[in-house]
């Protein structure tokens, strides 16, 4: 009679996943970030009294809302959800979890913040407020005036 394989606890699965990441050469900072993300997922699961192996698409949506209530910004929530999805893919690849649609849950879109590009008018206003007291201040004032006069942006 074949012995039935046991399903590992969330902690054991997470530990195996982090070991796998180290094994494929991920940087220790990356592995630590994944570990922190998984700890947050474990907190969510405990708060919801939910089993990792019973997650569905609605749970991922609830996880995103929960992360937002924790004060997480869009890109942070996105990363934590991507980490959770990576753990799901890992569990499926190790045959610890049946393949399902939760592998394909959409993550929040990445929020790209464009840098502020000052206009000539902005540079003139900046230069007008500079009152140099040191050589460094004087250098910065000259640079601001140069940028204002030439229309160069940085």
CATH number at residue 80: 1.10.150
Decide if 1 is inside a domain: no
Helix axes 28-48, 57-69, angle to 10 degrees: 100
Provide the number of structural domains found in the chain: 2
- For range 59-86, the mean pLDDT: 93
Q: What was the pLDDT predicted at 2? A: 44
- pLDDT cut 70: percent of the chain above it: 94
Return d(Cα 38, Cα 144) in angstroms, integer: 47
Write down the pLDDT at residue 82.
94
Distance CA 93, CA 38 (A): 18
Q: In terms of domains, do 138 and 70 share one?
A: no
Print the domain residue range for 29: 10-104
Based on the domain organization, do 146 and 84 belong to the same domain? no
Supply the pLDDT for residue 63.
94
The answer to whether position 146 is within a domain reads yes
For residues 101-110, give the mean pLDDT: 77
How confident is residue 16, by pLDDT bands cut at 50, 70 and 90?
very high
Predicted local distance difference test score (pLDDT) of residue 106: 79
Residues 98 and 51 in one domain: yes
- Tell me: do 21 and 87 sit in the same domain: yes
Q: How many CB atoms lie within 10 A of CB 45?
A: 18
On whether both 95 and 125 belong to a single domain, the answer is no
The answer to whether residue 67 is domain-embedded is: yes
Same domain, 92 and 19: yes
């Amino acid at each position: 009679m074949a012995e039935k394989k046991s399903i590992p606890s969330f902690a054991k699965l997470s530990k195996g996943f982090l070991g796998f990441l180290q094994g494929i050469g991920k940087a220790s900072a990356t592995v630590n970030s994944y570990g922190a993300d998984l700890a947050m997922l474990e907190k969510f699961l405990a708060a919801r009294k939910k089993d990792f192996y019973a997650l569905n698409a609605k749970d991922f949506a609830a996880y995103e809302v929960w992360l937002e209530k924790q004060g997480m910004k869009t890109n942070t929530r996105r990363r934590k959800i991507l980490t959770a999805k990576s753990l799901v893919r890992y569990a499926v690849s190790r045959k610890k979890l049946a393949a399902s649609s939760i592998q394909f849950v959409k993550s929040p879109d990445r929020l790209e913040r464009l840098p502020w590009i000052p206009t000539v008018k902005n540079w003139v206003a900046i230069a007008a407020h500079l009152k140099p007291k040191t050589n460094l201040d004087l250098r910065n004032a000259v640079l601001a005036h140069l940028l204002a006069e030439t229309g160069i942006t940085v």
